[in-house]
């Protein structure tokens, strides 16, 4: 949603509120499989002594996929964005300020860019996730798979060779 900032851009002390619903496709980081509730963000742009700053809050309910074992698990969090905006195009060149689009800004774009920066590209279902057995593919969080006791004879030969080299 494009937010017109003409009435606050030159007016220090002024603010403009907004409410928008984001397109989930724009927020899909590799670690997220889907969102389970609409992405409704409420926020405002403040002109503080001539500097524009966007703040927004967005409750996010989503399903993450564990990078190690592939199990999906739900996560809910309140995402808070705080993004300084460039009042003119030249200020936007250094990358620290989000550039305006004409006399306004696309608040959906600002919030999704901030969300993606803030979201881990990899995540685990729990810090000590054991992952999958590389041989049989069983999820080792659910218990041992038995590969350790029933060794494939071909692997036993290989291990003997490796032992000799140690």
Q: Segment contacting Zn ion (CB under 5 A): 30-38, 75-83, 127-135, 153-161?
A: 127-135
By beta-carbon proximity to Zn ion, the closer residue of 26 and 130 is 130
By beta-carbon proximity to Zn ion, the closer residue of 89 and 136 is 136
DSSP SS3 for 162: helix
Q: Which residue among 16, 22, 68, 97 contacts Zn ion (CB under 5 A)?
A: 68
By beta-carbon proximity to Zn ion, the closer residue of 113 and 129 is 129
In sequence order, the 6+-apart residues with CB closer than 8 A to the CB of 45 are 3, 5, 8, 15, 16, 18, 52, 53, 54, 55, 85, 105, 107
CB of 55 to Zn ion, least distance (A): 34
Count of chain residues binding Zn ion (CB under 5 A): 10
- Contact in structure between 105 and 2 (CB atoms under 8 Å): yes
Q: Which residue among 11, 42, 136, 157 contacts Zn ion (CB under 5 A)?
A: 136
- Report in angstroms the alpha-carbon separations of 87 from 37, 41, 144, 154: 33, 22, 59, 68
CB of 38 to Zn ion, least distance (A): 28
Q: Applying CB under 5 A, does 140 fall inside the site for Zn ion? A: no
The phi and psi torsions of 15 (rounded to 5 degrees) equal -135, 160
Distance CA 111, CA 122 (A): 20
Q: Which residue among 3, 39, 54, 66 contacts Zn ion (CB under 5 A)?
A: 66
DSSP SS3 for 61: strand
By the criterion CB under 5 A, which residues form the site for Zn ion? 66, 68-69, 125, 129, 133, 135-136, 145, 147
């Amino acid at each position: 949603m494009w937010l017109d900032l003409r009435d606050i851009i030159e007016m220090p002390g002024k603010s403009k509120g907004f409410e928008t619903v984001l397109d989930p496709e724009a927020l899909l980081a590799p670690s997220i499989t889907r969102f389970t509730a609409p992405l409704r963000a409420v926020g405002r742009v403040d002109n503080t002594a001539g500097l524009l700053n966007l703040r927004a809050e967005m409750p996010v309910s989503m399903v993450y996929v564990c990078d190690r074992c592939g199990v999906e698990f739900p996560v809910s969090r309140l995402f808070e964005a705080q993004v300084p905006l460039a009042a003119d195009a030249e200020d936007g060149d250094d990358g620290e300020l989000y550039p305006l689009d004409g006399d306004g800004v696309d608040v959906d774009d600002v919030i999704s860019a901030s969300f993606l920066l803030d979201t881990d590209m990899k995540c685990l279902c729990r810090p000590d996730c054991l992952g999958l057995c590389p041989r049989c593919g069983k999820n080792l969080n659910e218990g041992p798979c038995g590969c350790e006791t029933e060794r494939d004879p071909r692997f036993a030969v290989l291990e003997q060779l490796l032992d000799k080299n140690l």
